[in-house]
Amino acid sequence: MRFSDSKRYCPMTLYPLETLEPKATVNIVMVIEMKIGIALSGGVDSAVAAARLIRQGNDVTGYHMIVLEGNPLANAAVDDARAVADHLGIELKIVDLREEFRKILYYFATSYMSGETPNPCVVCNDSIKFGLLLERMFSFGAEKIATGHYARLVSLDEKIFLARALDRAKDQSYFLSRIGKHKLQNILFPLSEMTKDEVRQEALAIDLPVHSKKDSQEICFIPNGDYRSFLKSWGIEGKPGPITDESGNLLGRHSGLSGYTIGQRKGLGVSGGERYYVKRLDLERNRLVLALRESLTSDSLTAKDPNWYIDPGDGFECLCMIRSSMRAVPASVSVLDGNRLRVHFPEKVWAVTPGQLAVFYMEDRVVGSAFIEGNSVLESGDDT
């Protein structure tokens, strides 16, 4: 029996939406009998999200985007998406965005060339998944679009905000914080109040063909984590140069600065008793500067190109994350001229990394984000 043939049958009553604890903000979860396009990645999260929307009585169509050529994992994902759609009894449309996705690859490569550490998932979410794919769904008549992301949409003072998911360990609001606020009213996150364990249980209960599929941990276009080979395929050849400590003492040689990131400890090719970390990429001298861990802390950073969900005024107090894996910490944001910000931390943060994203929260709500330029240590450089 296919899922769609079961009509109102669905073991998801194990986690009924109606029994969720009330919150200060109104969580946007249920949409009844609408035409909804859902991004089916071929993974368990989007599959369960689709099943929940069908259960609510919606007219659901699946969309799977192809962004890579000749990638075995991408080919397998298409097959899995088709299997999920067939099991759920819904149509699956394949959207070819390979040419458009090359802009993400170009951004990734050129960021490393300029000494930054790119965040391709953030840029892809904004311009591809919630950009071109969203537009394609609407062109086919979708009233709302949905994904299997772990995030919430909440309504406060007649405004819609992106917010953290119930499952903090899986929360993806950091990666979604570049989505324009005008798009939020058109988006649904059916997994917003679920934990990953509950998603797995639900997938098994309704016999989804991907119920045991492992989560992806790598960047989709670099599944083996070999950044240098990818950069080489884009014609970015490393130029050998010195590795030094902060005083200029020679510690070794590198084969090219591209691919290193601030805070990196493994794969430095430096022997000895000290535990060194990458502190600075000196592009002018083609030098990799290492330092001890405590030397990588900073109490401020500058950032550019903010995306706001509020009017920031001259600045505000908030919680801030400067990487997806860190906990949010208190911060003060000051708005500068030229579409730039300065962020001050009462307690120092570690490894401020140019190119990564600073995301600002008030309680659970995302109020803005901006790309990190650097901190006072990186901006000052040294004269060694």
pLDDT tens figures, 225-263: 788 888 888 888 889 999 999 999 999 999 899 879 999
46 labeled part of a ligand binding site: yes
**Is 83 a known ligand-binding residue?**
no
The CATH 2.40.30.10 portion of the chain extends over 295-380
- Work out whether strand 241-244 and strand 287-292 pair parallel, antiparallel, or are unpaired: parallel
- Is 45 assigned a ligand-binding role in the annotation? yes
Min mean pLDDT across 175-179, 234-238, 333-337 is at 234-238
Active site residues: 124, 220
CATH code, residues 237-293: 2.30.30.280
Report the half-sphere exposure of 80 (CA within 13 A, side-chain side): 24
Structure tokens at 217: 């941990």
| DSSP track, 167-223 | -TTT--HHHHTTS-GGGGGGEE-TTTT--HHHHHHHHHHTT-TTTTPPPP-S-TT-T
39 is in an annotated binding site: yes
Instruction: Kindly state the helix (H) or strand (E) to which residue 378 belongs, with its residue range.
Output: helix 376-380
The confidence score (pLDDT) of residue 28 equals: 54
Every domain range in the chain assigned CATH 2.30.30.280: 237-293
Q: Is 115 annotated as a binding residue?
A: no
What is the location of CATH 3.40.50.620 in the chain? 9-205
Among left, alpha and beta (phi > 0; psi -120 to 50; other), residue 289 is beta
Instruction: Assign domain 295-380 to its CATH superfamily.
Output: Translation factors (2.40.30.10)
> Looking at residues 120-147, what average pLDDT do you find?
97
C-alpha to C-alpha distance for 263 and 253, rounded to whole angstroms = 18
Is residue 19 pLDDT above 60, yes or no? no
Angle between the 72-88 and 44-55 helix axes, to the nearest 10 degrees? 20
Question: Residue 26: its pLDDT value, please?
Answer: 53
Q: Does domain 9-205 correspond to CATH entry 3.40.50.620?
A: yes
**Over 50: is that where the pLDDT of 45 sits?**
yes
Residues in Cβ contact with 380 at an 8 Å cutoff, skipping those fewer than 6 apart: none
Which residue in this structure is represented by tokens 């120092």?
348
